[in-house]
Amino acid sequence: MNIQQLYEFCLSKKAVTEHFPFDEDTLVFKVGGKMFCLTSLKEWEKGTPSLNLKGEPDKNAELNAQYEGINPGYHMSKIHWVTVDFNSDVTDKMIRQLINESYELVYKGLTRKVREEIEKEAD
């Protein structure tokens, strides 16, 4: 997966927006105003891309133990976020699955009102 594929994959999800809330380097994807995926553009340029993704604490702990390329979230809650290295033992298929799970987790955590607004816009 390259940066363009990541970009298109994230933006293909319902109600996703892109932002640079911290600086011009950190690309953040949000749903309903909440982050579900972050990546550093400079790290892509250096050839060491990674993503920060939200996950269930128990599953994150399992992933950290199972994969060399999945670690506690860099500059994030170490319990609720993981950093996934692209050039590692984590396949593109697994990365897509983790992005989907992060999106779903954040989407489900939105207020009912926000979810209803998103559903209304999607129709």
Domains in the chain, CATH or no CATH each: 3-113 (3.90.1150.30)
Closest CA to 43 of 3, 82, 73: 3
Tokens 């976020």 belong to which residue? 81
What would you report as the CA-atom Rg of the chain, rounded to the nearest whole angstrom? 14
pLDDT of residue 73: 93
The whole-number pLDDT of residue 121 equals 84
Phi, psi of 51, deg, nearest 5: -130, 150
Q: What is the mean pLDDT of each run of 10 residues along the chain (123 residues)?
A: 96 96 97 97 97 97 96 92 96 97 97 94 76
The sheet with strand 26-31 has its strands ordered as 16-19, 26-31, 34-40, 50-54, 81-85, 70-72
pLDDT tens-digit readout, 12-32:
999 999 999 999 999 999 999
Instruction: Write down the pLDDT at residue 74.
Output: 87
